[in-house]
Structure 1
Amino acid sequence: MRKRWALGTVGALIVAGGGYTWACAATPLPELRVQPAVAETAEFPADPAPAEAAVAAYPQPTAIGWAEADGVWTNDASPHPIASITKLVTALVCLEAAPLAPGEDGPVYTLTEEDERVQRELIALDGVAHPLPAGSQLTTRQLLQLALIPSSNDYAISYARATFGSEDAFLAAVAEWADRNGLETLELVEPSGMDTRNRASADDVVRIARLALQNPTITEITSMPSAEIPGIGVVESTNPLIGRPGVIGLKTGRTVDAGYNLVAAQQGSAADRSVVKIAATLGRATGEDRAASTGALLGAMDALPQTIEVAAEGERIGEVTTWTGETIDLSAERGASAVLLPGESAGRTVDLGTVGAGPSGATAGTIRVETPSGDEDVPVLVGSAIEEPDLWWRLTHPAELFG
């Protein structure tokens, strides 16, 4: 009896042991624990100090910015008379109300006796006017060309009144437009720039130029060195930088009280990026002064873009703990950098996936690198091979295996 009981017990133990062994061999291994070593998201801004230093080196008021970036840097944020830079605002507000595509003529405007009166008044005030008699006709495009190329005050006024019906309606539209675009210092009392109460800070002038660069009709016209207007003849641009390599144009301004103003834009490059630089100088003593300081500042801006490292080759992004307790690094396969303008930033997002048995260099996730010039994914790699534990480990680690 005892012998049969012993044999039965041994058999039961063998069966049970076999079942345990089978269970250990067949049970899926638990998921490995992946631990990040860096923040899931990170931002990498460009240093603004070089841009601040650049404008600080020039007489006040001066401001710079880029068409592609939000930042603007100035050495004087107070409002100043902007003179005929006003006409950029007039063109922007009128073109928003009545769009005109590049190359289109638009509606025809017939000059009135009121236009003749304004012309006489402007000439008496030493304003820029190109008189035509009442009944003469100009297309909308020609009104814009006269306002923006030789800076005709009379046709800026005619254009605003023709678009909105009255100067008061135009000024109400300007106030709403300025508020909507965050131009806190801009204030106009008329559409031409003859009145010194038309004011804005140099940094808001850069913001106005940035908005103008988004309108292809304005950039087409302000980049023209001249235009021929029926009844008037050839009119020349007042912008002294037109014709220099890459200069897109924009606008001059001058009155006795305002001095000589200029906001100019120029195509440039930052590594492999194409960018547009904007510089504004207000209140210069002469036309030569405004041309020299604006041109020099545009040139100095070429040194301001920065190369920022967003991910480093081999950078430790995280770690994984294997079933046997070994810790293995997860690292960036390669580096990634961004060329940033002051005011810009790059970012990255780390996404670590599940990691299992596999060779060294297996993919463990990605780093999503986001830059103003485009995005890319950098693989995160496992630093060493990971092998599944053997059967003995399974048999001796039931808690880890079965949880």
Structure 2
Amino acid sequence: MLLASSNNHADTLARWAFGSVDAYVDRANGWLEDEGFAATRVVDATGLSGGNVGTASELARLAALVVADPALAGMLEGTSTSTPTDDRRVPDAIAHLEDDGIRALSRSYTDEAAISFVWTADIRSGETDRRMVGAMTGVDDYDTLDPAVLAAVEGMAAASAPIEVITGGAAYGTVASAWGDRANLVATSGRTDAAFGAAADDAVIEVEPFATAPAGRAVGSVGVRIGDREVTSALELDAPIEDPGLFWRLTHPAELIGAFLDGD
């Protein structure tokens, strides 16, 4: 596959590395099962048989493992240190949509899967560069494939754009004392995160028990879960909660006794 398209090389490599194509098939399917690929199975080394099955999502995951391996990624990018000279490097014979920032990893056609295309694209997310790995199968023609790939990359770029999850300086709650003092719970700093299609949950507020406190004191935190991640910020008072004074204490014995019994 790394040589663009060479079925005889695939069979030869399988026999060289595993002793036979059948032995390769057994090892490959065992590895796929061990790695949690539930839908992908192979019956030959070339991929031409209709018995080879899988899904686009698992194909993208497999490609992501290839890109994450420094040796294999170096071959794909033409930067492998095992290649002695530029003249020995294999040309990118499957280049497709490269003018749109798409790096083709694999492009093929079979009667069962029609056009299959695996690619990467570099996406800027705030100050972070991310690499998208995508795969599509069962596409009838390139007039359908190309806009679908570009739409997927554009959609991922939009989903990667940082969104404001917690707004610095915004009030996320209010505290009030029994004697009438009130203060807003203000986020001390803003937090952003890439959405990646996940909707942010409602903000969860945690406040530490306290009786009195000056303005600006941190008394808790606000957290927002977005997908499998959580972002947090400290919460501080925007006004003081002051001591009520002796007169209020004398005229509100029930509140004092109740607070004492509650441990406040």
Preserved contact between residue 266 and residue 298 of structure 1 (Cα < 8 Å): no
* Identical counterparts, % of pairs: 24
- Counterpart residue number, 2:120: 265
Q: Give the letter aligned to residue 179 of structure 1.
A: E
Q: Which has the higher mean CA deviation after the structures are superposed, 183-192 or 293-302?
A: 293-302
Q: 2: CA distance between counterparts of 1:346 and 1:250? A: 37
Distance 1:293 1:397, change over 3 A: closer
| SS in structure 1 of the partner of residue 95 of structure 2 | coil
Distance 1:192 1:364, change over 3 A: same
Q: Offset at 1:209?
A: 1.9
Q: Offset at 1:284?
A: 4.7
Q: Offset at 1:338?
A: 1.9
Q: 1: CA distance between counterparts of 2:28 and 2:217? A: 60
Q: 1: CA distance between counterparts of 2:72 and 2:90? A: 17
- Counterpart residue number, 1:282: 137
Distance 1:273 1:352, change over 3 A: same
Q: Offset at 1:203?
A: 2.6
- Segments of 5+ residues of structure 1 without an aligned counterpart are 1-146
Which of 174, 180, 194 in structure 1 is aligned with 2:48? 194
Distance 1:348 1:156, change over 3 A: farther
Which of 141, 147, 151 in structure 1 is aligned with 2:5? 151
Which of 176, 196, 221 in structure 2 is aligned with 1:341? 196
- Segments of 5+ residues of structure 2 without an aligned counterpart are none
Preserved contact between residue 104 and residue 119 of structure 2 (Cα < 8 Å): yes
Preserved contact between residue 281 and residue 293 of structure 1 (Cα < 8 Å): no
Preserved contact between residue 164 and residue 191 of structure 2 (Cα < 8 Å): yes
Which structure is higher in RCO with an 8 Å CA cutoff and minimum separation 6?
A: 1
- Counterpart residue number, 2:62: 208
Distance 1:256 1:357, change over 3 A: closer
Give the TM-score taking structure 2 as reference length: 0.73
Larger radius of gyration: 1
Distance 1:256 1:214, change over 3 A: same
Q: Which has the higher mean CA deviation after the structures are superposed, 215-224 or 391-400?
A: 391-400
Alignment of 1:310-325 (within 5 A): 310-313=165-168, 315-325=170-180
Q: Offset at 1:394?
A: 3.3
- Counterpart residue number, 1:238: 93
Q: 2: CA distance between counterparts of 1:179 and 1:234? A: 33
The size of the alignment, in residue pairs, is 254
Q: Offset at 1:266?
A: 1.0
Give the TM-score taking structure 1 as reference length: 0.51
Q: 1: CA distance between counterparts of 2:26 and 2:168? A: 56
Q: Offset at 1:189?
A: 0.4
Which of 187, 201, 205 in structure 2 is aligned with 1:332? 187
